[in-house]
Amino acid sequence: MHRAHHRVFTSESVTEGHPDKVADQISDAVLDAVLGKDPLGRVACETAISTGTVVVFGEITTEAYVDIPGIVRRTIRDIGYVRAKYGFDWETCGVLVGVDEQSPDIAQGVSTGGAGDQGMMFGYACDETPELMPAPIQLAHQLARRISECRRDGVMRWARPDGKTQVTVEYDEQGKPRRVDTVLVSVQHAEDVTHEQIFDDVQRHVVNATIPAAWLDDDTKRFVNPTGRFVIGGPIADAGLTGRKIIVDTYGGYARHGGGCFSGKDPTKVDRSAAYGARWAAKNVVAAGLAARCEIQVAYAIGVAKPVSVLVETFGTERVPVQRIQELLDEYIDLSPFGIISALELRRPIYQQVAAFGHFGRSDLDLPWEQVNLAQEFAREAGTEPLVPATAG
């Protein structure tokens, strides 16, 4: 059936075996190792990965010792690159480490509670899904996680670690998600499996098991490995680099992004902590029923604690004046780096777990920035009806 004038939006995700995500997980594994021994450690860890080689570099300041080569190998093993026939092997890959300490010029501003760099960060939430995330990226992440589960559980024995998903959602005239227009899944696979089996398994065990049946119809387009073959994947097929999947990490392009990546950075880096703080703030605004959509921009100057600007955007969906929302945020949330770190307890080794499948909307994890602990108070102060807590994540 032809649908005229329909609005669609598309977002993608990748599995934990995608080369860029391998790099992100290594960087965050190093970060977690440092924070596990030294919560005040400063980490800016970058990873590059290609055929048979991993390079870890950056600036790390800590009194603790961490075995970076060992961390690299264990991370690659746990992702699933355990045999050379997969194109990458945790035991035989080369590991190079080039790490220095943080610049004292930066440290002198950060040590007094200032931001670790200038820049602007965004947080976003909307009422499209129970997790208060945009539907396209939430569905894409859920598909990617399901692929990984099926590979690890042996449901799809032919599956290999690398993979991608993409979901196109159609919206109605009121801007609410109505149906899934297109689903694209690409999964690295064993050489001896047929394309027909891959397609059937992905539809049965991944797509139909993940996307609500009410959102799928006879007009939904379904693609699986559309080139017909995806045997060569992972780092042997494409180089990977920390921070190259920032839109996958956040809102799938549905909301704006400040530009900085998250992985490998300790929470004094506002690229990470402020993005988490802004998501926390925006999610509580939506969970409190103050607006159906909320985007918060916060900006900093290096070495300065107080944000230079905070902007609340509700896209005309506010149920109370935007100024009142701004006042509530000013009263309840301290968006200085120290304030965010303290409120969300960010000096803990909790980061590798979000280095794949998205940092937001993770109903499978207990993340501090996904709490809606302020929603009831916001609603009481503003006189709104909060969303049911069970649907607010």
Catalytic residues: 18, 20-21, 46, 59, 164, 230, 238-239, 244-245, 265, 269, 271
Put residue 132 in one of left, alpha, beta given phi > 0 → left and psi -120 to 50 → alpha: left
- List, in sequence order, the alpha helices (H) in the chain: 19-37, 68-79, 104-110, 135-153, 195-201, 208-210, 246-249, 270-287, 322-332, 337-344, 375-382
What CA–CA distance (Å, rounded) separates 70 from 145? 26
What CA–CA distance (Å, rounded) separates 265 from 60? 10
**CA 63: distance to chain centroid?**
30
What CA–CA distance (Å, rounded) separates 207 from 166? 11
| Residue 335: CB atoms within 10 Å | 25
What CA–CA distance (Å, rounded) separates 130 from 264? 29
Q: What is the DSSP string of 136-153?
A: HHHHHHHHHHHHHHHHHH
**CA 92: distance to chain centroid?**
29
What are the angstrom distances between the C-alpha of 107 and each of 102, 138, 224, 266, 338? 7, 37, 49, 13, 15
Structure tokens at 116: 């670790």
